[in-house]
Amino acid sequence: MLYGNAMHVDELLKKSANGEVLSRNELVNLLKLPQDSAEAYRVMAAANRISRELADNRAEIHAQLALNLAPCPGNCAFCSFARVNGVFDTETRLEPAQAVAYARQFETDGANAVFIMTTATYPFGRFIEMSREIRRNLKPETILIANVGDQPPENAHRMRAAGFSGVYHAVRLREGIDTGLSPDKRKESIRNFQDAGLEVGTCVEPVGPEHSPEELADMILYTASINPAYSGAARRISIPGTRIAQNGMISELRMAQIVAVTRLGMPRTVPGNCTHEPCALGAVAGASLFWAEAGANPRDVEKKTEEGRGETVSDCKKIFSESGWDVWEGPSRYYNRKLKT
Ligand code: SF4
């Protein structure tokens, strides 16, 4: 297909409107469209329509707190916690009361799910203890999600028993090349979580200008293959002074295009489509999930991201509202596909 071949884009959008999932080659062609072409905007409009239908026009906002901040041996080039990046040199951990206060605030603010994040080496036993304490202090219907390192089957079961409904876990772009982690182990953990009854949300991330349409299409297809609660796309945020920051960042418009193409690469059984960081362009291109953040954040050099890049639940609501979306009230439907809208 030639770039800007409107006829061909029409055919693909028709195919998608009929509920079909696009092939690798078709996704590659849509990812090759110039970000400001009329065809790219039509792809965004089509994805937006699908996302709104699937979510009954009610987007979700999930909110994440981090239990610790520490130099991490995972050494993901894009992460402010990576030891090699030298942003943070000592570990700080939240006390149980601080973690509970963050989680309760998210609940009060109307987050549809509360996420608990740790760096890769946070002791697992302590993570479970802290999680149980948070769980005890939240309403029983509040959905709790974990964002932690790779885990064996027994730990996945312990997480389920501690009250988690699901996890966020991704095989990141160029995993094992730009990170010190193994892509196979990431995939194995995703299977372990699902086998333990935890729903997995994922994303094509963190996208930089160096990632080719083919790489992005392969990752979109991988995320579709695990039948996630949601997929989506997120761009890499440059941490100043790091090696990978020299590659630059993609625009929000390009990210919105990838968010839209990701939706067209998912079957309708995947209800959600996420983007990060929250932005109106993403929402109008079919993102139906944003994250609010508090405490440490791997895209921020501030110790408390609420004083830096992190958005609040109310900020996210405002962006969705400006983009013509309502926001779902109540426990996340993406992490509980049995719940109807
Ligand atoms: S992304 Fe996770 S594993 Fe990688 S350096 Fe950051 S905290 Fe560690």
Write the single-letter amino acid at 211: H
Structure tokens of 21? 């999932």
pLDDT for residue 293: 95
- In the predicted structure, residue 339 carries a pLDDT above the cut 50: no
Give the C-alpha separation, 279 to 44, whole Å.
14
Strand partners, 289: 60, 274
Strand partners, 115: 64, 145
Q: What percent of the chain has pLDDT over 70?
A: 97
Give the C-alpha separation, 120 to 123, whole Å.
9
Average pLDDT for residues 9-31, to the nearest whole number?
Answer: 96
- First-to-last alpha carbon distance for the chain, in angstroms, is 38
pLDDT for residue 188: 98
Write the CB contacts of 106 (distance below 8 Å, at least 6 apart in sequence): 63, 65, 114, 292, 294, 313
Q: Which atom of ligand 1 is nearest to the CA of 119?
A: 7
pLDDT for residue 2: 47
Residue of higher predicted confidence among 304 and 112: 112
The reported pTM is 0.95
Structure tokens of 226? 């695990």
Local confidence band at 307 (pLDDT 50, 70, 90 cut-offs): confident
Ligand 1, pocket-test mutation among 67, 75, 79, 121, most atoms within 8 A of CB: 79
Please tell me if the CB atom of residue 74 comes closer than 6 angstroms to any atom of ligand 1.
Answer: yes
Question: Would you give the DSSP letter of residue 142?
Answer: S
Structure tokens of 39? 């065809």
> pLDDT tens digits for 63-90?
999 999 999 999 999 999 999 999 999 9
Average pLDDT for residues 267-271, to the nearest whole number?
Answer: 97
Please tell me if the CB atom of residue 298 comes closer than 6 angstroms to any atom of ligand 1.
Answer: yes
Please tell me if the CB atom of residue 206 comes closer than 6 angstroms to any atom of ligand 1.
Answer: no
Q: If you average pLDDT over every residue of the chain, what do you get?
A: 95
Local confidence band at 92 (pLDDT 50, 70, 90 cut-offs): very high
What torsion, rounded to 10 degrees, do the Cα atoms 90, 93, 94, 96 define? -160
> pLDDT tens digits for 222-266?
999 999 999 999 999 999 999 999 999 999 999 999 999 999 999
- In the predicted structure, residue 295 carries a pLDDT above the cut 90: no
193 CA distance to ligand 1 middle (Å): 19
Please tell me if the CB atom of residue 75 comes closer than 6 angstroms to any atom of ligand 1.
Answer: yes
Residues 68, 47 contacting (CB under 8 angstroms): no
With vertex at residue 295, the alpha carbon angle to CA 97 and CA 205, rounded to the nearest 5 degrees, is 135
Give the C-alpha separation, 274 to 261, whole Å.
12
With vertex at residue 329, the alpha carbon angle to CA 158 and CA 197, rounded to the nearest 5 degrees, is 20
Residues 292, 317 contacting (CB under 8 angstroms): no
pLDDT for residue 341: 39
E-state strands within 38-136: 58-66, 68-69, 92-93, 113-117
pLDDT for residue 68: 95
Local confidence band at 7 (pLDDT 50, 70, 90 cut-offs): low
- Within 10 angstroms of residue 38's Cβ, the number of other Cβ atoms is 11
In Å, what is the CA distance from 96 to each residue of 100, 251, 302?
6, 38, 21
Average pLDDT for residues 51-69, to the nearest whole number?
Answer: 97
In Å, what is the CA distance from 139 to each residue of 134, 310, 328?
10, 24, 17
> What is the maximal distance between C-alpha atoms in the chain?
59
- In the predicted structure, residue 1 carries a pLDDT above the cut 60: no
